[in-house]
Amino acid sequence: MGEKVKMIAKERVDEITRQTAEPAWLKDSRLKAFESYLKTPTPCNRDENWHRTEVDALDLAALNVIVSDSKEKQAGKEPEVITQAFAHLGKKLPYIYTTPQNVEIGNADSELLSKGVIFCSLKTALTQHADLLNKYLSAQDLSKPDFAHDDKFYLMNQSLFNCGAFLYVPKNVSLDSPVLNVFTSGEETSIAVFPRVIIIVEQGAKAEFVNISTSAKSKKSEKSALSLINSSIGTLVGHGASLYYLDVSDFSTNTFAVSRVYNEVKKDAALHSSTVALGGWQIKSDIQTNLKEPGAKSDIRGVVLGAGSERYSFNTIQDHIAPDTASTINFRVALKDSSSSAYLGTIRVSKEGQRTDSTQSNKNLLLGSDAHADSIPKLEILADDVKCSHGATVGPADKEQIFYLMSRGMDNLEAEELIVQGFFRQVVQSCPVDGAGDWINTLVAEKIHSENPNV
């Protein structure tokens, strides 16, 4: 059973470390992160990166940090969210299901195990595979995102992460279907949780990973009982390897969800990442992709569907560090009611990043008359032989399209559903995971037809 302990404080780091019997290097890194956390000011919405968020409304002192000592166990009854995902993805997949109280693992695949694939909760990884983790979390890799230096929330996660998942795919091993990691904060309110996901795909290997984050839906927003779900996701795609990562989040209207994704892509490796954001009081997500060696490619996509007074803030950074790297970004945002979104997209090309090929596109569809979207592209290019393009649009839904569909018998919401699915299609249809497109369309339709969460 998870024990509720008040306040984010250094004692929490000690408690977490003690419970898991973590190696000393990890405790050191947590304490270092916590020191930096204390020194870093809390962001405010005047910061470019936090534009249009209401970070001030979150009272850190009112949050209960969950320090769970639960061990993972075999899954009992399959949770509904997982059943729904499997129905679309076509089969039962290995999964980890984490709540503030429990960690369950299901459908473990013994064949993968025999090939040396590790898919386990982060807690298990920290005790059973500590050396392997140390290799990647040390100075060499997965330690250099922009937000490592000055992002209070990232530092908070790095010092207090207490649940999550670890996937390790050894050299030349291919996973033909995804593994599933689900985190839900359930009915809990006023809590702070710090999930951390680490995905390592070694040279020549191939993997698919589906990450679902959710919470029980509440009828109305209660700002007095806000919860913070502060996640970090780190992926390392080795030489010639490929990773497909799909992230689906759908939180209640009293959840403040912050996530920091850091991807490292090595020589001739390919990363495909799709983010689907469907709800929450506020969603603040940074996705940084470092193309570290020649031939590295990344394809980062996202769909966001806002309603009520939800706020979304996505920040993508493409960092072309080596020559001959390529990246594409395609983010589509549809906003109902008075929801809002701020997208900040940075393409960065270092002096060494010659022959970079990079495109960035962000389109925003305003369905609600009070909806608002900002789109800010940023190019920081130091090399002189590059191809970079970016485009952004913000516009209302076409009334003639709505009328056309309504003249065919569809009501307003049915018309909206088709238009939004059409708007998202270019992003959704490119999902390499079988059935993922259908699944996303279903989730989008459900949200469009659900009652306004928090007008």
Binding site for other proteins (CB under 8 A): 398-401, 403-412, 414, 418-419, 421-426
- Output 134 or 401, the one with its CB closest to other proteins: 401
- Shortest reach from residue 428's CB to other proteins, in Å: 9
- Shortest reach from residue 414's CB to other proteins, in Å: 7
Return the amino acid letter for 342.
A
- Shortest reach from residue 363's CB to other proteins, in Å: 11
- Shortest reach from residue 408's CB to other proteins, in Å: 4
Return the amino acid letter for 176.
D
- Shortest reach from residue 399's CB to other proteins, in Å: 8
- Output 354 or 426, the one with its CB closest to other proteins: 426
- Output 203 or 430, the one with its CB closest to other proteins: 430
- Shortest reach from residue 297's CB to other proteins, in Å: 25
Rounded Cα gap, residues 134 and 70, in angstroms: 23
Token pair for 380: 């920081």
Residue 435 backbone phi and psi in degrees, to 5: 85, -10
Q: Are strands 118-121 and 179-184 parallel, antiparallel or unpaired?
A: unpaired
- Output 66 or 419, the one with its CB closest to other proteins: 419
CA 221 to chain centre: 23
- Shortest reach from residue 90's CB to other proteins, in Å: 18
Rounded Cα gap, residues 171 and 28, in angstroms: 30
- Output 93 or 405, the one with its CB closest to other proteins: 405
- Output 167 or 303, the one with its CB closest to other proteins: 303
Residue 247 backbone phi and psi in degrees, to 5: -120, 120
- Output 129 or 425, the one with its CB closest to other proteins: 425
Would the CA dihedral through 18, 22, 28, 30 be positive or negative?
negative
Phi-psi region of 436 (alpha: psi -120 to 50; beta: other; left: phi over 0): alpha
